[in-house]
Amino acid sequence: MRFIKVIPVLVMIFALTSSKVDGQCKSFARRECLPELGLYTHDGNYHAAVLFEGEEAELYKTFYSDMDYRMVICGDSKLPPIEFVVIDADRNILYTNKDNNYSKSWDFKLQTSQQLKLIIKVRVSDQSTGTAPTSGCVSIMVGFKIK
């Protein structure tokens, strides 16, 4: 009976903690990533989450033809480099920052409107042998140029 009384308290603590972490990641995105968009207008969406070394996250996002876009991926400085891959509906790789020294941004323009899949991978640090994996905020920001 006592165990049943503890469960709601644990659920409440977890809910409050995760919303605090989510808020911290959004603040991180605003402070650290938003400036990386430069002259591009932010699309208004803050995609940010806490990820651990070795974790992967996916995001599907629609992009429109004949628009200039900048995509910025940034992560907490204590994380190892973050790889991001952009894939179209036919599973073609349009871009991977692995080929560009793990660049944090990609400027692009599409010929046709389409939904793209963004895959974010936090690499495993070479120095993490025997230690707990590092975690930190990772953010995806998208901006476009107004013509």
CATH architecture of 2-144: Sandwich (2.60)
10-residue mean pLDDT profile of the chain (147 residues): values are 46 40 81 93 93 94 96 93 96 96 96 96 76 88 90
Q: Which two tokens stand for residue 69?
A: 């876009």
Number of helices (H), then strands (E), belonging to the chain: the values are 1, 9
**pTM assigned to the model:** 0.78
- Determine phi and psi for 122, rounding to 5 degrees: -90, 115
Residue 78 Cα distances to 48, 84, 141, angstroms? 16, 18, 19
Q: What is the largest CA-CA distance in the chain?
A: 64
The answer to whether the beta carbons of residues 106 and 98 sit under 8 Å apart is no
Cα(23)–Cα(5) distance, integer angstroms: 28
Residues 57/136, Cβ–Cβ less than 8 Å: no
Judge contact between 35 and 105, C-beta under 8 A: no
pLDDT number for residue 18: 40
